[in-house]
């Protein structure tokens, strides 16, 4: 037995010591939050033991994995971690989760476009959906505190009465106007889970959990496939996809997980074709077309990503005519579908308020001022966006109290992997410049969309700063960085970077548990 202990590497003993420090540090926080009974302390210890066990097993397994098999390792890890996140976060704790739940339920009933009348009334949905969220029969119930594990038992008991419907949109608990703008394609996995649950007449709680699970499964399969075909920066992509921000989007009733998975898979496919230069098959064309359709109907700020199709080498087509035809149709159809969907959704919802119209007029008439407003906003809040890019206080609708040092370590480790690869793939400077321009366009669109829709309502027309931007909005830009960074050497071990990243999962899970217990 003693000989076995002697064979354990020193850094594993250090990891064990760090894990214990996390245990007692967060135990102190756990005690400081409120008074707990013995059962909750035991539960805290069990959560720590479970996640520590998973982390150390993952660390040992990674030592035996080569880059070509990262996707297999990732697939198992994203499911284990994703299910952990899914079970540790009570229903309706992620950003606007109740709104996304209502929208997905509406789609599962076959209503793909939400309509709003002059009284801000939306669709008729079962009253049990909002009762599960609000914990009350009052349609105007306002939940201004965090949902705790103790409330789950009452949620489970609420049955789904498909016939007892009320008009949604008439109060805080039933409004989902923001989610109604989202394309039905973004809710395919969620709606599928709800449909399964409705077949067995499960209650709203179980419908939500099934929707979460299907969202996670779709995310896992799509991103694992993308990681498999990605020709470079696999470790960077894997850590981004496993970051807390991404796992929350994939394991809750959010549209972000499926949206970002589609964008990542599209980026990976383009890079694969750029690297292999093999002639496109019917399968390739079908996958690319479906992904373009998904991206086009997602958030309109990411619509320019469709332009990546122009980077597919000419050698991937049998004739130059096929090359021009496919790329032209992809761009035109992609942009057309995106604009038509946006116009259709906004026309039915009537979401362009007087303030938004005035804000658009302000931008047009004060273009130079708006340029400086955009620059000022990004410069002023750069540290906030960076801290919340992969982890941070904005998780779970800004409910978590996060140590800033953890967010910074996530940021440093993930970007270290971006500059730590011996890549054989060469990307021309011309393409790098084009990708840089594309990134700037997306940054401008993100700011403009929020300046028009959010800032105008909450801060006024012509405000000196853009409000409402969150770090997670820049995740697709992280995927685009793979085109730009093309280092030829390593300066640190991939194993060490991955081990440190996995070790961070312990304080992350404990932070989530402490918030909702």
Label residue 215 by pLDDT band (50, 70, 90): very high
CB neighbours of 401 closer than 8 A, spacing ≥ 6? 393, 511, 515
Say whether 429 sits in a helix, a strand or coil.
helix
Give the whole-angstrom CA distance, residue 383 versus residue 88.
Answer: 28
DSSP string computed for 85-116: HHHHS-TT-STTHHHHHHHHHHHHTT--S---
Mean of the pLDDT values across residues 390-408? 91
Task: Point out the least confidently predicted range of 236-250, 351-365, 495-509.
Answer: 351-365
9 within some domain: no
pLDDT digit string, tens, across residues 36-50:
889 999 999 999 999
Kindly tell me the sign of the dihedral angle through the C-alpha atoms of 387, 392, 397, 400.
negative
At 2 the pLDDT is: 47
- Kindly state the tokens that stand for 308: 């990546």
How large a percentage of the chain has pLDDT more than 70?
A: 97
Determine the average pLDDT of the residues in 359-369: 91
Question: 388 in a domain, yes or no?
Answer: yes
Asked if the structure places residue 494 within a domain, the reply is no
In a domain, residue 49? The reply is no
Residue 261 domain-assigned (yes or no): yes
Q: In angstroms, rounded to a whole number, what is the distance separating the alpha carbons of residues 67 and 223?
A: 15
Higher pLDDT, 79 or 35: 79
Task: Give the chain's domain count.
Answer: 1
Q: Please report, in angstroms and rounded to a whole number, the separation of the first and last CA atoms in the chain.
A: 39
Domain span at residue 344 reads: 97-486
The mean pLDDT of 271-300, rounded to a whole number, is 93
For the segment 114-131, the average pLDDT, to the nearest whole number, is 85
**Is position 498 within any domain?**
no
* 105 has pLDDT over 60: yes
497 domain residue, yes or no: no
Helices 494-503 and 234-242: angle between axes, nearest 10 degrees: 0
- Within-domain flag for 288: yes
């Amino acid at each position: 037995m003693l000989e076995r202990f002697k064979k354990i590497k020193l850094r594993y003993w250090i990891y064990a010591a760090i894990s214990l420090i996390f245990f007692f540090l967060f135990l102190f926080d756990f005690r400081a939050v409120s008074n707990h009974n013995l059962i909750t302390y035991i539960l805290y210890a069990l959560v720590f033991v479970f996640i520590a066990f998973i982390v150390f097993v993952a660390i040992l397994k990674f030592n035996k994995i080569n880059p070509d098999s990262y996707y297999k390792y990732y697939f198992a890890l994203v499911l284990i971690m994703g299910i952990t996140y899914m079970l540790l976060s009570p229903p309706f704790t992620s950003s606007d989760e109740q709104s996304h739940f209502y929208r997905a339920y509406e789609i599962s009933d076959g209503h793909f476009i939400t309509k709003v009348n002059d009284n801000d009334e939306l669709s008729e949905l079962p009253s049990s959906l909002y009762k599960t969220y609000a914990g009350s029969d009052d349609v105007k119930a306002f939940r201004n505190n965090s949902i705790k594990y103790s409330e789950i038992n009452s949620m489970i008991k609420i049955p789904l009465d498909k016939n007892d419907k009320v008009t949604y949109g008439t109060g805080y608990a039933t409004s989902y106007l923001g989610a109604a703008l989202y394309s039905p394609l973004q809710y395919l996995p969620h709606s599928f889970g709800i449909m399964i649950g409705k077949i067995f007449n499960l209650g709203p709680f179980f419908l939500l959990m099934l929707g979460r699970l299907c969202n996670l499964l779709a995310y896992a399969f799509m991103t694992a496939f993308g990681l498999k075909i990605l020709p470079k920066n696999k470790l960077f992509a894997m850590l981004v996809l496993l970051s807390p921000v991404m796992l929350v989007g994939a394991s809750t009733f959010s549209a972000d997980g499926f949206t970002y998975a589609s964008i990542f898979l599209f980026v990976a496919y383009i890079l694969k074709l750029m690297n292999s230069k093999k002639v496109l098959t019917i399968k390739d064309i079908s996958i690319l077309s479906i992904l373009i359709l998904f991206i086009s109907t997602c958030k309109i700020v990411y619509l320019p990503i469709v332009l990546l199709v122009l980077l597919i080498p000419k050698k991937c087509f049998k004739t130059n005519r096929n090359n021009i035809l496919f790329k032209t149709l992809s761009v035109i159809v992609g942009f057309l579908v995106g604009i038509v969907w946006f116009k259709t959704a906004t026309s039915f919802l009537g979401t362009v308020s007087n303030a938004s119209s005035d804000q658009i007029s302000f931008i047009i008439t004060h273009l130079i001022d708006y340029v400086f407003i955009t620059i000022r906003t990004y410069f002023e809040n750069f540290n906030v966006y960076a801290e919340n890019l992969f982890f941070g206080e904005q998780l779970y609708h800004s409910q978590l109290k996060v140590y800033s040092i953890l967010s910074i370590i996530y940021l440093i480790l993930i970007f270290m992997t971006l500059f730590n690869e011996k890549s054989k793939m060469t990307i021309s400077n011309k393409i790098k410049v084009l990708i840089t321009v594309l990134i700037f366009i997306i940054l401008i669109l993100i700011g403009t969309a929020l300046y028009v829709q959010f800032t105008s309502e909450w801060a006024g027309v012509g405000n000196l700063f853009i409000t409402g931007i969150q770090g997670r909005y820049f995740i697709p830009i992280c995927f685009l960085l793979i085109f730009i960074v093309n280092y030829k050497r390593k300066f640190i071990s991939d194993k060490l970077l991955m081990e440190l990243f996995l070790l961070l999962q312990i304080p992350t899970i404990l932070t989530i548990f402490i918030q909702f217990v």
